[in-house]
């Protein structure tokens, strides 16, 4: 008989055990200890007791589900969203917002201390409104093909369930800006009325300062009747509509639709509906103001903004310095940065379209000199540019991060070059989720921050 090798699988104890959570992680999972092993339990808060059952067991840790919660923490609150615990968008609406922010700040402090050996506070935290903060959302569209005679087939519009590809149809989403949330039900009705209802991909809702807009991805050309229904929706709800027949093209439903724009630090920035903009406008305003204050910008400064996008930081900095330069890898964002510089009559700013993950030493911006630097990389961090920043020897560096692990890693390059980590802030950009944003200030000379 042929025998096949099968590695031993770690067995999971299916018995019921009682634990008390003593901490919370950034994802909102309770942390408990049992027989020397760390256990992560979704839905359990610090101080709460529960009977749990292990669902996954590793050598160093385990995961568990709650069988019965035996006590309630004072930090437990009633989720505002009716879809919470089903929709995968939010993980922490049951946690008081103060505990959420405090936990994320502690996680940030721990990572920096572990990677750099520096103990530093991530306070004061840059806070967000608890609800109604998202000005951009992407909703999946899925036609329900299930043959259920008791239920009429229809288009589902919503977010993915946690750890599945199934959609949760949402009629309410309290983390969305109210101007977008109020579009959900009429938009669902409109899309369900289209003859192309079975051939729709997804829809994005964006709130610009001059009104809401939506981008509809459709898999087949839309008939005239469908366009007219969308045009009626657009007029009734004062929402601009853009059609995306593929991932590259974008067609305004109505000719002459004004370009969307938002304001930051008194400047007007126009953008394409598909361009990246910060989702939380309130935190973005605070973040830009903090960055400018930390850099202590002067009229003689030459400042460099790496991973600059469409100039969210670059353009406000340009109003205060001799020269500002932004470098970005997405050509459309560079074009918008250049356009917005002209729109705001800023003649001292240049944008370069370059790949900052390639060899940057031959890129034209790299031969220029700068005395202050800001960088805002993606989750992968900025490993490719850190050595060049050291070579520039700027007086101050502000690092804005969406991944505390890569922030801690890249920080070591500056610290080893003699820079001082002066200040760190946790940015509560996405309340009720596990996303942790942060920013850090490095200085070539020792300094104090009030």
Backbone angles phi and psi of 100, in degrees to 5: -55, -50
165 belongs to an annotated ligand binding site: no
Q: Mark whether 308 is an active-site residue.
A: no
115 belongs to an annotated ligand binding site: no
Q: Which listed residue (288, 402, 429, 439) is catalytic?
A: 402
Per-residue 3-state assignment (H helix, E strand, C coil) for the chain? CCCCCCCCCCCCCCCEEEEECCEECCCCEEEEEECCEEEEEECCCCCCEEEEEEEEECCCEEEEEEEEECCCCCCECCCCCCCCCCECCCCCCCECHHHHHHHHHHHHHHHHHHHHCCCCCCCCCECCCCCCCECEEEEEEEECCCCCCCCCCCEEEEEEECCCCCEEECCCCCCECHHHHCCHHHHHHHHHCCCCHHHEEEEEEEEECCEEEEEEEECCCCCHHHHHHHHHHHHHHCCEEEEECCCCCCEECCCCCCCCEEEECCEEEECCCCCCCCCEHHHHHHHHHHHHHHHCCCCCCEEEEECCCCCCCHHHHHCCCCEEEEEECCHHHHHHHHHHHHHCCCCCEEEEECCCCCCHHHCHHHHCCCCEEEECCCCCCCHHHHHHHHHHCCCEEEEEECCHHHHHHHHHHHHHCCCEEEEEEEECCCCCCCCCEEEEEEECCCCCCC
328 belongs to an annotated ligand binding site: yes
278 belongs to an annotated ligand binding site: yes
Per-residue 3-state assignment (H helix, E strand, C coil) for 175-244? CECHHHHCCHHHHHHHHHCCCCHHHEEEEEEEEECCEEEEEEEECCCCCHHHHHHHHHHHHHHCCEEEEE
225 belongs to an annotated ligand binding site: no
User: What gap in Å lies between CA 45 and CA 43, rounded to an integer?
Assistant: 7
Q: Is 393 left (phi over 0), alpha (psi -120 to 50) or beta?
A: left
87 belongs to an annotated ligand binding site: yes
190 belongs to an annotated ligand binding site: no
307 belongs to an annotated ligand binding site: yes
312 belongs to an annotated ligand binding site: yes
User: What gap in Å lies between CA 87 and CA 79, rounded to an integer?
Assistant: 12
Backbone angles phi and psi of 405, in degrees to 5: -65, -45
370 belongs to an annotated ligand binding site: no
**428-to-90, 165, 241, 263, 284 alpha-carbon distances in Å:** 14, 27, 31, 20, 10
The binding site for S-adenosyl-L-methionine comprises 278, 307, 312, 328, 355, 376
Which residues are tagged catalytic? 402
């Amino acid at each position: 008989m042929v025998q096949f090798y099968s590695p031993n699988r770690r067995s999971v104890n299916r018995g019921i055990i009682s634990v008390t959570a003593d901490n919370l992680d950034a994802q909102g999972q309770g942390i408990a200890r049992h027989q020397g092993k760390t256990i992560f339990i979704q839905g359990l808060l610090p101080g709460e007791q529960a009977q749990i059952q292990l669902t996954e067991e590793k050598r160093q840790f385990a995961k568990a589900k709650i069988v019965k919660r035996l006590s309630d923490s004072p930090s437990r609150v009633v989720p505002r969203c009716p879809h919470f615990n089903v929709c995968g968008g939010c993980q922490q609406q049951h946690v008081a917002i103060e505990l959420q922010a405090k936990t994320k700040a502690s996680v940030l402090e721990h990572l920096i201390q572990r990677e750099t050996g520096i103990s530093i506070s991530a306070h004061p935290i840059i806070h967000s409104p608890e609800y109604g903060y998202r000005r951009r959302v992407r909703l999946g569209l899925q036609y329900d093909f299930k043959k259920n005679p008791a239920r009429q087939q229809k288009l589902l519009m919503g977010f993915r369930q946690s750890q599945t590809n199934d959609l949760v149809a949402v009629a309410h989403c309290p983390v969305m800006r109210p101007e977008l949330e109020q579009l959900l039900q009429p938009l669902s009705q409109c899309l369900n009325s289209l003859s192309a209802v079975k051939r729709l991909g997804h829809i994005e809702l964006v709130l610009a300062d001059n009104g809401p807009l939506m981008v509809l991805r459709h898999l087949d050309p839309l008939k005239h009747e469908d366009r007219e229904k969308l045009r009626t929706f657009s007029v009734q709800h004062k929402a601009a509509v853009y059609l995306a027949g593929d991932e590259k093209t974008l067609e305004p439903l109505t000719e002459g639709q004004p370009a969307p724009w938002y304001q930051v630090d008194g400047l007007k920035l126009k953008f394409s509906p598909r361009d990246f903009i910060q989702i939380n406008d309130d935190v973005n305003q605070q973040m830009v103001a903090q960055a400018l204050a930390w850099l202590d910008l002067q009229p003689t400064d030459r400042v460099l903004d790496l991973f600059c996008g469409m100039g969210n930081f670059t353009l406000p900095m340009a109003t205060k310095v001799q020269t500002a330069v932004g470098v970005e890898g997405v050509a459309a964002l560079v074009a918008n940065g250049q356009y917005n510089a002209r729109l705001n009559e800023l003649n001292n700013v240049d944008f370069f379209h370059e790949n900052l993950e390639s060899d940057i030493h031959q890129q034209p911006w790299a031969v220029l000199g700068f005395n202050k630097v800001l960088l805002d990389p993606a989750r992968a961090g900025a490993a490719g540019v850190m050595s060049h920043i050291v070579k520039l020897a700027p007086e101050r560096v502000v690092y804005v991060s969406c991944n505390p692990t890569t922030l801690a890693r890249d920080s070591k390059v500056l610290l080893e070059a003699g820079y001082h980590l002066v200040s760190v802030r946790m940015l509560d950009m996405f309340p009720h989720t596990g996303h942790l944003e942060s920013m850090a200030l490095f200085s070539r000379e020792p300094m104090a921050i009030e």
